[in-house]
């Protein structure tokens, strides 16, 4: 079996040298109540970068020389736990190890009725889908006829936020990093407008032009100058969901930016940080809505599937280069 451990804490952009592969030649055995798992799909996520720092956050940091873990879908190879049968697929937070033993705590059986592909339990029916739905509905409180701007729009969370906003009757503007992604936002996901932040010189004007009636909801996945530019277009009583700030995750010093308070005050606007795990009691409702829309073909998704366990660290690093469209997943 192979395991990926965090060898050193990244300084700035993570590199392959921050990770180490540990190979062990042993047969794993299970005790009563345990299951033996073979990992099938691994989710790589921007938030894992924060856990690689030795800093206080909403989840504890990874320990050096211990396995990195994230959302995983795995197959049950052996079971001495009544809740899981051999051949079942489960999802949950598991190690970046090809095989591992679990007592089943925190693992959910993957229901093939709800989704056509088991990888979707790491994306649209997993943490990122829940984030999109709950961040938008709980903080964004979207209303038909309003305008929403979504940054990181072609990624796992952003592409779902935009589609849900369309279902709910909003005008949807997405911001992403390539023309190909902008085309995808409009042709595949039904966004009304798209702005490529890498080729647009004046983001402030581009946002104002795309949102002639102003911005009522801003779903922020990236932070930094892109989000500063959105502030100039917010409407009275705007809701700003701070879901992520990938543009600054690799900064070694805290960046300075626009002072947002005057924009919030004069517009009586709400800006609120969002962490999906705080809404666990709403997960069943969210999954029901998401899987319902999926089966009605109102919602679709895209996944960037990278092949092979050895490519997990590179797939993670590639998130910061925008190499993914939709959810980045590694197939083992």
Residue 90: half-sphere exposure toward Cβ, Cα within 13 Å: 27
Residue 208 CA to residue 26 CA, distance in Å, equals 60
Tell me whether residue 85 or residue 251 sits nearer to ligand NAP (CB atom).
251
Tell me whether residue 76 or residue 242 sits nearer to ligand NAP (CB atom).
242
Cβ of residue 105: shortest distance to ligand NAP, in angstroms? 21
Tell me whether residue 36 or residue 328 sits nearer to ligand NAP (CB atom).
328
Cβ of residue 59: shortest distance to ligand NAP, in angstroms? 10
What is the phi/psi pair of residue 269, to 5°? -90, 155
Tell me whether residue 4 or residue 156 sits nearer to ligand NAP (CB atom).
156
Phi-psi region of 160 (alpha: psi -120 to 50; beta: other; left: phi over 0): alpha
Alpha-carbon separation of residue 117 from 28, 72, 73 (angstroms)? 28, 14, 11
Cβ of residue 30: shortest distance to ligand NAP, in angstroms? 32
Contact 55, 47 (CB under 8 A): no
Interacting residues with ligand NAP (CB under 6 A): 45-47, 127-128, 131, 152, 154-158, 176-178, 181, 221-222, 226, 243-247, 274-276, 319-320, 322, 324, 328
Contact 164, 132 (CB under 8 A): yes
Tell me whether residue 110 or residue 153 sits nearer to ligand NAP (CB atom).
153
Tell me whether residue 219 or residue 309 sits nearer to ligand NAP (CB atom).
219
Cβ of residue 127: shortest distance to ligand NAP, in angstroms? 6
Cβ of residue 155: shortest distance to ligand NAP, in angstroms? 2
- For residue 109, what are the β-bridge partners? 90
Cβ of residue 247: shortest distance to ligand NAP, in angstroms? 4
Alpha-carbon separation of residue 65 from 18, 31, 46, 245, 309 (angstroms)? 10, 26, 20, 27, 18
Cβ of residue 298: shortest distance to ligand NAP, in angstroms? 20
**Where does residue 202 rank: exposed (0-12), middle (13-18), buried (19+ CB within 10 A)?**
exposed
Cβ of residue 121: shortest distance to ligand NAP, in angstroms? 14
Closest C-alpha to 245, from 227, 264, 269 = 227
Residue 158 CA to residue 218 CA, distance in Å, equals 11
Tell me whether residue 169 or residue 255 sits nearer to ligand NAP (CB atom).
255
Cβ of residue 45: shortest distance to ligand NAP, in angstroms? 5
Tell me whether residue 231 or residue 243 sits nearer to ligand NAP (CB atom).
243
Tell me whether residue 104 or residue 129 sits nearer to ligand NAP (CB atom).
129
Q: What's CA 64's distance to the chain center, in Å?
A: 24
Residue 215 CA to residue 44 CA, distance in Å, equals 31
The 10 Å Cβ neighbour count of residue 276 is 22
Residue 36 CA to residue 79 CA, distance in Å, equals 6
Closest C-alpha to 328, from 68, 22, 47, 50 = 47
């Amino acid at each position: 079996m192979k395991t990926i451990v965090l060898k050193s804490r990244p300084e700035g952009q993570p590199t392959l040298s921050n990770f180490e592969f540990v190979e062990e030649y042993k047969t794993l055995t299970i005790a009563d109540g345990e299951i033996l798992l073979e990992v099938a799909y691994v989710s790589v996520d921007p938030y894992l970068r924060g856990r690689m720092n030795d800093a206080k956050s909403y989840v504890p940091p990874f320990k050096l020389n211990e396995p990195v873990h994230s959302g995983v879908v795995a197959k049950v190879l052996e079971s001495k736990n009544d809740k899981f049968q051999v051949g079942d697929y489960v999802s949950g937070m598991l190690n970046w190890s090809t095989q591992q033993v679990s007592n089943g705590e925190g693992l959910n059986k993957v229901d093939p009725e709800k989704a056509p592909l088991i990888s979707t339990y790491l994306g649209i029916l997993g943490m990122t889908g829940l984030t999109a739905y709950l961040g938008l509905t709980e903080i964004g409180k979207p209303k038909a006829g309003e305008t929403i701007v979504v940054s990181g729009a072609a990624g796992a969370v952003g592409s779902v936020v935009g589609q849900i906003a369309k279902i709910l009757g909003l005008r949807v503007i997405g911001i992403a990093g390539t023309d190909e992604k902008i085309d995808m936002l409009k042709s595949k996901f039904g966004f009304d407008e798209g702005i490529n932040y890498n080729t647009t010189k004046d983001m402030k004007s581009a946002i104002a032009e795309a949102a002639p009636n102003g911005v009522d909801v801003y779903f922020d996945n990236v932070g930094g100058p892109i989000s500063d530019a959105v502030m100039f277009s917010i409407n009275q009583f705007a809701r700003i969901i701070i879901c992520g700030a990938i543009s600054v995750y690799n900064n070694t010093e805290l960046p300075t930016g626009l002072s947002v308070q005057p924009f919030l005050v004069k517009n009586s606007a709400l800006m609120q940080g969002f962490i999906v795990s705080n809404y666990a009691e709403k997960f069943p409702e969210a999954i029901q809505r998401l899987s319902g829309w999926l089966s009605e073909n109102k919602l679709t998704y895209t996944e960037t599937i990278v092949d092979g366990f050895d490519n997990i660290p590179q797939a993670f690093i590639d998130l910061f280069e925008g190499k993914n469209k939709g959810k980045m997943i590694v197939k083992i």
